[in-house]
């Protein structure tokens, strides 16, 4: 269930996280990685360096904000008497501990990655709402396939080449299906203006693939975790549908959907880093029908009712308004970045 129009929206901490993540994604993971493929950009060394440093600053802000927000999720969930929230809280605190252990080299990165992947599945299934949660389920299938394709090469005899390729195809196919199925998250079908925005986005994505398919494929691999083997038209349709969903959700103030999808897109699939996996975990919580209670419960003692059936009441009383006081590889290591060293 998404936040209603009567809600005052997410707390400031979640907005800070979202804005920082989007700036980092645009400035650091996308723009600077694109510019290195364009001849003659050495003439713009200073502005490019400023852009890169701004992206790194946004990354550090996003990483810290993510840790704090996931801590809020864990505390609210563990103090709740609602089974769904307890499961999410437990999964989140285990993830934070595992990520910290990996950063301190107390656990091998493979153990961190396998554990994180399992926790994503647990958190996603905890908020399952039937057909409406189909995009979440498709994303989880993509995540498991992408993660397995990487981790399966590091244990035992490892996967064979054809097996790895098959898993990658599965991951990419289900990731595109996630974008196409995104409107199922909405309470109503996308509006006509949203569909126009989606169509324009699809044309832009298609044009980008036509103009520089190799560069786009590299960006998709680095940022999302799949190599971009499917035709560009598949990504264009998925991107257009996703944008139409985001536009509709934003116009209707369904902020759990807007922020949840944004965090999933920024996190991607595959075991790239615990930073990006943490973004996915936060997105799954928001999209799983549990986000509204967690948003409203920031700073509250506990949630005692089923968030799917009654998201506007906590501890048997009306809730107060939400409080507002609240790396990519190569961007520099933080306490929340740990993964395979590629």
What are 34-66's pLDDT values in tens digits?
Answer: 776 666 667 777 888 888 899 899 999 999 999
Rounded to an integer, the average pLDDT of 235-256 is 94
Residue 301, in any domain of the structure:
yes
Give the range of the structural domain holding residue 49, as residue numbers without chain letter.
12-318
Residue 273 domain-assigned (yes or no) = yes
- Assess if residue 335 is contained within a domain: no
* pLDDT recorded at residue 286: 92
222: confidence class by pLDDT, cuts 50, 70, 90: confident
Q: What is the pLDDT of residue 153?
A: 81
Which residues, 6+ apart, have CB-to-CB distance to 286 below 8 Å?
256, 257, 259, 260, 263, 294, 295
Q: What is the pLDDT of residue 17?
A: 95
Q: Give the global pTM.
A: 0.81
Query: Is position 72 within any domain?
Result: yes
Using the predicted structure, report yes or no on whether residue 332 has a pLDDT greater than 90.
Answer: no
- 342 within a domain of the structure (yes/no): no
Is residue 117 a part of any domain in this protein? yes
Residue 3: closest CA among 241, 258, 279, 325:
258
3-state secondary structure of 313: strand
- What proportion of the chain, given as a percentage, has pLDDT over 70? 79
Taking the CA atoms of residue 204, residue 209, residue 214 and residue 215 in that order, the dihedral angle to the nearest 10 degrees is 0
Say if 29 falls within a structural domain. Answer: yes
- CA angle 76–79–81, rounded 5-degree value: 110
Asked, for residue 327, whether it belongs to a domain, the answer is no
Q: Band of the pLDDT at 137, cuts 50, 70, 90?
A: very high
Specify the pLDDT at position 2: 40
Position 214 confidence tier, pLDDT thresholds 50, 70, 90: confident
Residue 166 tokens, joined: 């098959």
CA 210 – CA 202 distance, rounded (Å): 12
Q: Are the beta carbons of 220 and 272 closer than 8 angstroms?
A: no
- pLDDT at position 318 is 34
**Minimal CA–CA distance to 286: which of 304, 305, 270, 263?**
263
User: Does residue 231 carry a pLDDT above 60?
Assistant: yes
Number of domains in the chain: 1
Q: How confident is the model at residue 138 (pLDDT cuts 50, 70, 90)?
A: very high
């Amino acid at each position: 269930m998404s936040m209603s129009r009567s809600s005052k929206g997410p707390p400031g901490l979640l907005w800070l996280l979202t804005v920082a993540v989007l700036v980092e994604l645009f400035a650091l993971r996308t723009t600077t990685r694109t510019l290195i493929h364009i001849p003659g950009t050495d003439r713009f060394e200073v502005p490019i360096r400023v852009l890169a440093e701004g992206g790194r600053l946004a990354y550090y802000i996003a990483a810290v904000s993510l840790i704090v927000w996931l801590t809020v999720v864990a505390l609210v969930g563990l103090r709740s008497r609602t089974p769904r929230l307890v499961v999410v809280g437990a999964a989140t605190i285990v993830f934070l501990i595992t990520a910290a252990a990996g950063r301190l080299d107390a656990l091998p990165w493979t153990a961190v990655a396998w554990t994180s992947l399992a926790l994503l599945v647990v958190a996603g299934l905890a908020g399952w709402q039937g057909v409406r949660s189909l995009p979440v389920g498709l994303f989880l299938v993509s995540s498991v396939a992408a993660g397995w394709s990487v981790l399966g090469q590091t244990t035992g005899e490892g996967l064979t080449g054809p097996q790895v390729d098959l898993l990658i195809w599965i991951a990419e196919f289900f990731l595109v299906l996630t974008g196409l199925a995104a409107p199922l998250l909405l309470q109503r079908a996308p509006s006509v203006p949203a569909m126009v925005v989606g169509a324009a986005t699809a044309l832009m994505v298609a044009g980008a693939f036509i103009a520089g398919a190799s560069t786009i494929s590299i960006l998709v691999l680095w940022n999302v975790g799949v190599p971009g083997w499917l035709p560009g038209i598949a990504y264009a349709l998925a991107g257009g549908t996703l944008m139409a969903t985001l536009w509709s959700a934003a116009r209707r103030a369904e902020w759990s959907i807007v922020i949840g999808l944004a965090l999933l897109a920024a996190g991607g699939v595959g075991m790239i880093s615990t930073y990006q996996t943490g973004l996915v975990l936060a997105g799954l919580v928001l999209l799983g029908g549990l986000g509204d209670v967690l948003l409203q419960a920031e700073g509250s003692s506990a949630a005692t009712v089923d968030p799917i059936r009654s998201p506007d009441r906590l501890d048997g009383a009306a809730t107060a308004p939400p409080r507002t006081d609240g790396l990519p590889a190569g961007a520099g290591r933080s306490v929340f970045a740990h993964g395979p060293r590629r």
